[in-house]
Structure 1
């Protein structure tokens, strides 16, 4: 007798994507409460709360709604602008901020799928940026060829830095968290050193800054000089499609998921776990390295010690929020790009501390890390998991499928 398939609502209630969405909603609710708590009008009205409680509630609503409206105007659509370009500029800024974050987050997500906690996207981005910058200002070639070499250089730099971690992990058993943290510091100090030597320092300057990248090595702007959005965003979208195909349609993607789910079962099934571990970190580093080219050859035009900002660490949050799925990572990157673009507008327009944005981001991590908490807050109950064990007669390939197959 066949078991009836669950209804759409039942599948929706048990999906991990719903937990991610509700985690964002819960974070915005708590963030709104914090905005109201720091608002002067709200705190003033709270002094006579028991006499006129509606005054306090109205002031709290106005503070939270006004702040989030300002964030929307700074990140998505500025309906107060007088021109169409002014109205659309916030959206292009969101996409610009999301571009390097997207590829770095994809790198973290690929490592997650392999069971590796890659905290080294920061260092991999820096290596990619150094390679891209050096190729960008030392060579003088025709535009398409020069830009292609810049992109390949950034991929190579990040892949080398990530592959080193994968090789040490696979060959010596060294923990990837320790390795990536250490290599982040090595990359940052190496960048600081090279920016004070003729290798990367701008001639005639005493500041740690590189020469400007030649125009032929820059990503072209998509909408002209009035907007910062460049073709690196299209490259990031292409990388998302490639990673989706890799993880869902390729043999290597199957092996990566199998190793990440159960390394011992994958090895029993005949998968070369050493090769898969190294390749997963090479791919992760290559993707993060592309973010370095997006930063220097897309927006900054020259290299400084702050090139990575907090992108490498934000990528961990984005990968978690996107559930390590390329499409989820894409939307999570857009969300965090909107936070970055809209936070400053929120602070200027309403006086709300920009730290509130960081609090909301941190709350998203908290709720994502505790799905039972989110489910209990919204009354969804516990998610039931069903695992099937292969019978004794099934071949070893079935064991690998059970370890790393799609759910």
Structure 2
């Protein structure tokens, strides 16, 4: 009887030499990479279709088809080369500092995206759909600006106080959603949408009212410039643009990773996200956990607002200081699979697309909307894993390799 059992184990375990490749093919990381590649390919098709050179060559395609393919290559390669020069490394720059300036622009654009994306991802892990990043950012800016414009202190005191005020402003606005969700059962999507409008019109009122946030001596709804002592200092000298806010966002990534993966509160959050009923039955206070989660998520979005006010837009901000980052954070969280480190790389990717889009437009006359289409396609493919598996013939996640399945059938027989 033992010989039969050993033979069965040998039959089942023999195909395990292919499990590494199978795990890679069925993993979510490869799907994310393939989603980006597929979105870039489709973006290339759109670039070629809208290129005047390609359209002109198509007029005599049957006479000289090679001209059409050459025009397509020139349009697509030129566009993505410009994207690379604007986002990573400008190999046409006259000196080294100018050559590496694009990567600092990318990190500068990615900084608020990372912080806001962490807020959305944290809420996702608890089973909450936080689309209130815009309102939480604006309330963080409102609270931080009060400290920035009223406190006079050295930078090592003024800047931390400004950051803390922004965190508290976003935390209160996000925690309010969690509180209403826990106490009344109201849906967080409706709550966050309504609170976005309230925050927008509240900060618009602050900026339009003399004596509050409106710039003295004018009637325009714009704030005074952010004081030097409340700004994130540059990490490197000009022309490099990345500031210390990026390091703060990286620290936020480490904090969220530790919170979710290593702390007891994070364990309760993950339990609530997986099954709130089972978590409640095991003694977890689901309502309190939701309040904590939304409060921390709001604080992270508030940090993104501080990055905008103290790092990106220091000459004075308007009510649209969020610049759509609160909604872009949703795509960053989805691409990052709601994991802290995934959000970091997704934020850098979207920062690179944004930084490179300006070079694409100026040097190749390609609309920035093409980059927005690529971003939307990335999210579409990330949100539809079966579509990626069908296009690239990938195995399902968690499915056994085919040799193993055949071996199990033989054992069963």
- Normalised by the length of structure 1, the TM-score is 0.92
Partner of 1:400: none
Answer whether contact 1:127 1:187 (CA < 8 A) is retained. Answer: yes
Unaligned 5+ residue runs, structure 1?
387-407
* Alpha-carbon distance, 1:229 to partner: 1.4
1:195 to 207, 214, 228: 207
Match of 2:249 among 230, 236, 257: 236
Q: Contact 1:140/1:214 (CA < 8 Å) preserved in 2?
A: no
Q: CA deviation at 1:224?
A: 2.2
Match of 2:44 in 1: 32
Q: CA deviation at 1:193?
A: 0.4
Matches of 1:382 and 1:143 in 2, distance apart?
53
* Map of 2:89 onto structure 1: 77
CA distance in 1, matches of 2:352, 2:100: 13
Partner residue of 1:326 out of 337, 340, 346: 340
2:101 & 2:238 partners in 1: Cα distance?
12
Q: Which runs of 5+ in 2 are unaligned?
A: 1-8, 401-413
For 2:311 and 2:237, how far apart are their aligned partners in 1?
A: 13
The structural deviation recorded for 1:305 is 1.2
**Corresponding position of 1:18:** 30
Structure whose residues are more often helix by fraction: 2
What is the total number of aligned residue pairs between the two structures? 386
Alpha-carbon RMSD across the aligned residues, in angstroms, is 1.4
Residues 127-138 of structure 1 aligned to structure 2 (within 5 Å): 127-138=139-150
How far is the alpha carbon of 1:214 from its aligned partner?
1.9
Deviations along 1:72-127, one digit per CA (max 9) or x if unpaired, are 00110000000111101111100000001100000000000000000001110111
Which residue does 1:391 correspond to in 2? none
Cα distance in 2 for partners of 1:82, 1:185 equals 47
Partner of 1:261: 274
**Are the equivalent residues in 2 in contact too, given 1:255–1:276 (CA < 8 A)?**
yes
- TM-score, normalising length: structure 2: 0.91
Q: Which residue is 1:160 aligned to? A: 172
Aligned counterpart, 1:46: 58
Distance 2:263 2:66 in 1: 59
SS at match of 2:208: coil
Shift of 1:47: 2.3
Is the contact between residue 133 and residue 297 of structure 1 (CA under 8 Å) also seen in structure 2?
A: no
Shift of 1:385: 5.7
1:348 matched to 2:372: no
Q: 1:132·1:297 contact (CA, 8 Å) conserved in 2?
A: no
